[in-house]
Amino acid sequence: MFHIIKNRKYWYIISLLIIIPGIISLFLQGLNWGIDFTGGTILEVKFAKDVQSQDIRSIITQKGIKVSSIQQTSEGNYLIRTEELDTAKRDLLVKALENNLGKMDVLREDRIGGIVSRELLQKALLALLISSVLMLIYITFRFEFYFGVAAIIALLHDVFVTIGIFSIFQWEVDSSFVAAILTIIGYSINDTIVIFDRIRENLKYREKGEALEDLINKSLWQTMTRSINTVMTVIFVLVALLLFGGSSIKVFVTAMLIGVTSGAYSSIFNASPVWFDLKRMSSKGDNAKKQ
Q: H-type helices in the chain, by residue range?
A: 8-28, 35-38, 53-62, 87-101, 114-142, 145-169, 175-204, 212-244, 250-266, 272-290
Closest to 57 measured CA to CA, from 84, 93, 22: 93
What 3-state class would DSSP assign to 75? coil
pLDDT of residue 256: 96
Work out whether the CA dihedral 111, 117, 119, 121 comes out positive or negative: positive
Q: What is the DSSP string of 262-281?
A: HHHHHIIIIIHHHHHHHHHH
pLDDT of residue 117: 59
C-alpha 213, offset from chain centre: 30
Query: Longest Cα pair distance anywhere in the chain, in angstroms?
Result: 85
pLDDT of residue 87: 85
| Average pLDDT for runs of 10 along the chain of length 291 | 91 96 93 78 87 89 85 83 85 90 87 65 80 87 90 93 94 85 87 92 87 93 92 94 82 94 94 93 58 43
What is the rounded (10 degree) CA torsion for 272, 168, 173, 45? -140
Q: Which domains does the chain have, with CATH numbers?
A: 8-33+116-290 (1.20.1640.10), 40-112 (3.30.70.3400)
Phi, psi of 55 (to 5 degrees): -70, -40
How far is the C-alpha of 188 from the C-alpha of 150, rounded, in Å? 12
pLDDT of residue 250: 86
pLDDT of residue 65: 87
Global pTM reads 0.80
How far is the C-alpha of 65 from the C-alpha of 83, rounded, in Å? 7
DSSP β-ladder status, 40-47 and 77-83? antiparallel
8 A C-beta contact, residue 218 and residue 230: no
pLDDT of residue 75: 80
